[in-house]
Amino acid sequence: MKQKFLILTMLISTLSFSQQRRINVSLYAHNLDGTTSLQDGVTTDYHNSYSNWVDMWDALKVPQIAEEISSNRHDTLIAIERRKVIVTTDTTYLNLRHLQQKSYRFKVVCDDMSNCCLSGFLYDNYTNQSYPLNLSGTTTIEWLVNSSPTSSANNRFKIVLNSCTLPVKYVDLQSSKIGLIWTVDEDDDIKQYNIEYSLNGSSFNIVQVTKNKSIIALKDGFYRVVAITQNSNKIYSNIVKWLGNLRVYSGYIYNPSGIYIQIYLYSGQLYYSGNNTQIKIDQVIFKIK
């Protein structure tokens, strides 16, 4: 019975892959001896059968000692993220750890992304530079870590994808411990920001109007920000779910090396210990510190 289940899983995975789109980011390090070595990689798959929330289809990141890269979604580090096909805009927050003072390279490979009517770029928060992405091929980006702590910040890079039918402007919304914060690529002609709330993530109503770029959320639920320009055009942000400083997670943690690991709840209680290669997490509540 177990063998049949594995074969069926592989068959479904093969059928789904033929319809999905993918972005893979490989992290290379330029070594002192003149060689270049592959350190790690992170992948995002897009298909309408997936959810934009972290769930069982996403492969969580297993920490490593050397330089590593992952995506940060709702304060969860992910190695392989699976999301819905992009309708308006989508931002992937890259998370980097254990960087050293040396030169690095990103190799961004896009598979079948050009058919989505998208434009995309990688943004460097340290240099404030944007690098356009080839959505039908490979983009190579060289960058450097120096003595400045900002150059080795975990959240230095992000990938932004926009629909071709939208203006170049985008509103990037994130949740924080106390509320919501957002950034805009150009805000010179922004008149105001409408904060919209939804209980179910689909029907939104305006709950606040502000000229600031942050608010303290009043209640748990789904939020989005609508930027209103001087000529009354609307620019919609991504949707985020806010649960105070608590997060609920269901899915799997992958441990491909089979090393012994322990998982603790925010209360300090031991949730799991062992060396299974796949650990199921069911409705676990943990606190973001």
Torsion, CA 175, CA 176, CA 181, CA 185, rounded to 10: -70
Confidence band for 226, pLDDT divided at 50, 70 and 90: confident
Distances (CA, A) of 20 to 48, 78, 111: 8, 18, 9
**pLDDT tens-digit readout, 248-266:** 555 666 666 777 777 766 5
Q: What pLDDT does 223 receive?
A: 84
pLDDT at 29 over 50: yes
Task: Write down the mean pLDDT value for the chain.
Answer: 79
Written out in words, the top-level CATH class of the domain with range 171-242 is mainly beta
Strand ranges in 74-170 using DSSP code E only, listed in sequence order: 76-83, 89-97, 103-111, 118-124, 129-132, 138-144, 157-163
**Least confidently predicted of 8-12, 80-84, 102-106, 215-219:** 8-12
Q: Domain residue spans in the chain? A: 20-163, 171-242, 250-284
Q: Is the pLDDT of residue 60 over 90?
A: yes
Tokens for 12, please give them: 């479904």
pLDDT band per the 50, 70, 90 thresholds, residue 289: very low
Cα–Cα distance between 249 and 262 in angstroms, integer?
17
Greater confidence (56 vs 289) lies with 56
Question: pTM for this structure?
Answer: 0.54
pLDDT band at 267 (very low <50, low <70, confident <90, very high): low
Question: Is the predicted pLDDT of residue 84 greater than 70, yes or no?
Answer: yes
What is the amino acid identity at position 124? D
Structure tokens at 118: 């998208």
